[in-house]
Amino acid sequence: MEELFDICDSSGKLTGESLPRSVVHARGLWHKSAQLWIIDSRGRLLLQRRDERKQTDPGKWDISVAGHVSAGQTVLEAAVRETQEELGLTLNPDELELIFIAPREYLDTAQQFFDREFHHNFLCRKDVDLTNLTLQPGEVIDVTWQSLGDFYHRVEGDDPTLVGRPGEYTAMFKHLGLA
């Protein structure tokens, strides 16, 4: 069965309607997603490389975890679930801190794919052994640690191997005291 998403209005308020993923993306309806930045005690950001078969940003490096909020789920529940699914890493909800919410639109008229999301960006400070992670096939093909300083320079240099999140990168860098 196809995943259902709760629909939002353009201000992020839930409308009370839930629709299948394909309908939401075909119509360009607003919905929520959870984004997670995992930073270790050495000041490194856990990055994941998206599978080459992903519809958006295939093969690009991205923040630690990103995924849709399923119907009836909170964004915090979705962040914990997506972390388990994508990385095989179990987190407690109290390890996550919501830093900011950012609207994002990805429009691909050729494929009739209109993704309008409210990205709920969480921060988790945690030391993680990458060898203990189990990457989700079809979603994640690699993970690595990168110093926040090096990552900041990649973003500032418009590195084409990174998922484009300019406003989100800026907001998190500001929160972390990098910008």
pTM score: 0.94
Low-confidence ranges of the chain (pLDDT < 50): none
Phi then psi for 168, rounded to 5 degrees?
-70, -45
pLDDT number for residue 106:
86
pLDDT number for residue 113:
84
pLDDT number for residue 120:
98
SS (H, E, C) 128-155: CCHHHCCCCCCCEEEEEEEEHHHHHHHH
Q: Where along the chain do its domains lie?
A: 4-175
How far, CA to CA in Å, does 97 sit from each of 18, 35, 64, 69? Answer: 26, 11, 14, 17
How far, CA to CA in Å, does 54 sit from each of 57, 59, 111, 113, 123? Answer: 7, 8, 13, 13, 24
Neighbours of 129 (CB within 10 A): 7
DSSP state of 156: H
The residues pairing with 65 across neighbouring beta strands, listed in sequence order, are 36
CATH number, domain 4-175? 3.90.79.10
